[in-house]
Chain A
């Protein structure tokens, strides 16, 4: 867990630094995300008067705990190829959903109109990207002849899955849904700092916000690592960092979509594409 957190802090620094360089700025120092977290933990914790206290307090903690668990499941096969079990790919994918659900719960519990707006947007976003993400992973499962463990997929062939036609399509779609899962531009409708002022996070302060931040940092490690394991073959640091930089570049070169546009994009354009990739995979391409 500590390792995941340390890696998350580094990943977040890379994200902020690359963003800064893209904008021709110098960017924050290496330990900036660590200072942010430490600072949040020595700040006062304000709980809104009308909030449902129990849910409000539990949501960030759950989010953090699950994120740490996901990082373990996704991270272990990268270091110990013999670890993991048959079906851990599904465990990871189900667990990846929970931080978003915790965010919805926390936003809805905080008795703030903008937070509930953010929660409802997050809900619609999950509805839109989840199908695409699952089918794109299913493409790889089909291509590897029904292998459902991360380690198994990594060691199935020497060539990365993303190099075949169906694998390439699925990889790009998985990248886009990963972007949405991480809440990054162009799919950051739930947070949307400029319109609904950070949405579900708006009422969170101090340590509770710190827990949310930490789970974001850890997800920033776990999710790209998982995708690189599934699509790019044996995981290593270079592949992960390249994937992370791709995410950041997409984030920095795109405007935010509206929630209706997100839904349309995922359901009517990306889902059919995904199904085409699945058919290609079934045909053996």
Chain B
């Protein structure tokens, strides 16, 4: 019998949604793809369209332009989908919590499965987050 969770966690295609981040998080995400960390070993790769994605990576403080787009992206994505709030801004609005452009943290707009805090998170932290998501999907945590 084909093991659903095993297949889903062996091939995770990530769509990166950047709602006006300061680019630090984005650069750390690219770091994870570089030779030093190489997450393609685990079948993880970045895709360009949300329709191909298994994981939605939310970056940056969600502002008034970004919030409706984020909701739309979540609705468009083929399920099952894992949502990861990436960095302090997406998780809890970080240093922008008093900004006039803020809306809500990502988890109050769409269901979030995992948080990777940090400003920006280190690549090790990102891989740790990925491992936790995979374990959660497999029901080990």
Q: Chain A contacts of B41 at CB under 8 A? A: 25-29
Interface-facing stretch out of A31-39, A63-71, A87-95: A31-39
Say whether chain B's binding surface is mostly helix, strand, loop, or mixed. Answer: loop
Contact of A36 among B2, B11, B78 (CB under 8 A): B11
Q: Is there an interface contact between A20 and B54, defined as CB atoms closer than 8 Å?
A: no
Question: Is A46's CB under 8 angstroms from B11's CB?
Answer: no
Among residues of B, the one whose C-beta sits closest to the C-beta of A208 is: B51
Main secondary structure of the interface of A (DSSP, over half): loop
Residues of B within 8 A of A203 (CB): 49, 51
Q: Which residues of the other chain, A, contact B10 by a CB distance below 8 angstroms?
A: 32, 35, 39
For the complex, give the distance between the alpha carbons of A75 and B40 in Å. 31
B96 to chain A, nearest CB (A): 28
Contacts of B11 in A (CB 8 A): 32, 35-36, 38-39
* CB-CB contacts below 8 Å: A163-203 with B: 193-194, 197-198, 201-203
Bound-state Cα–Cα, A58 to B78, Å: 19
Q: Which chain B positions have C-beta within 8 A of A194? A: 48
Identity of the chain B residue whose Cβ is nearest the Cβ of A193 in the assembled complex: B48
Tell me the nearest residue of chain B to A44, going by C-beta: B78
Counting chain B residues whose Cβ lies within 8 A of the other chain, the interface size class is 20 to 34
B43 touches A23 (CB 8 A): no
Assess whether B49 is in contact with A46, with CB atoms less than 8 Å apart: no
Q: Is the CB of B40 within 8 A of A27?
A: yes
Contact of B43 with A46 in the complex, beta carbons under 8 Å: no
Residue of A nearest to B38 (CB): A25
A50 CB → nearest B CB, Å: 13
Distance between B40 CB and nearest chain A CB, rounded to angstroms: 5
CA distance A46 to B4 in the complex (A): 19
CB-nearest residue of chain B to A31: B10
Interface residue total, chain A, C-beta cutoff 8 A: 30
Q: Does B80 contact A (CB under 8 A)?
A: yes
Q: Once the chains are docked, how many angstroms separate the CA of A16 from the CA of B47?
A: 15
Give min CB distance, B12 to chain A, whole Å. Answer: 9
Judge if B139 is at the interface, Cβ distance under 8 Å.
no
Q: Which of B7, B40, B51 contacts A35 (CB 8 A)?
A: B7
Residue among B4, B8, B38, B52 making CB contact with A198, cutoff 8 Å: B52
| A4 proximal to B (CB < 8 A) | no
From 56 to 113 in chain B, residues with beta carbon under 8 angstroms from any chain A beta carbon are 76-80
| The one of B8, B34, B47, B77 that contacts A39, using a Cβ cutoff of 8 Å | B8
| Chain B residues within 8 Å of A45, by CB | 78
Docked CA distance A43–B38 (Å)? 25
- Residues facing B in A203-227 (CB within 8 A) are 203-206, 209
Contact in complex: B35, A25 (CB < 8 Å): yes
- A42-B4, A202-B48 are contacts. A29–B78 as well, Cβ < 8 Å? no
Identity of the chain A residue whose Cβ is nearest the Cβ of B48 in the assembled complex: A197
Please report the C-alpha to C-alpha distance between residue A40 and residue B73 in the assembled complex, in whole angstroms.
Answer: 19
Q: Per-position contact with B for A72-107: 1 when CB-CB < 8 Å, else 0?
A: 000000000000000000000000000000000000
Contact with B43, one of A32, A42, A197 (Cβ below 8 angstroms): A32
Given the known A-B contacts A23-B35, A39-B10, A44-B79, are A201 and B52 also in contact in the complex, defined by CB atoms under 8 Å?
yes
Can you name 17 A-B residue pairings with CB atoms under 8 Å?
A20-B38, A25-B38, A25-B40, A25-B41, A28-B41, A29-B41, A38-B2, A38-B11, A42-B8, A43-B78, A44-B78, A44-B80, A194-B48, A197-B48, A203-B49, A204-B51, A209-B52
Known: A25-B38, A28-B41, A203-B49. 17 other contacts (CB 8 A): A20-B38, A26-B41, A28-B40, A29-B41, A32-B43, A38-B2, A39-B11, A39-B54, A43-B80, A44-B79, A45-B78, A46-B76, A198-B47, A202-B51, A204-B51, A205-B51, A209-B52
Q: Name the 9 nearest CB pairs between A and B, nearest first.
A: A197-B48, A205-B51, A44-B78, A35-B10, A205-B78, A25-B38, A35-B11, A39-B11, A24-B35
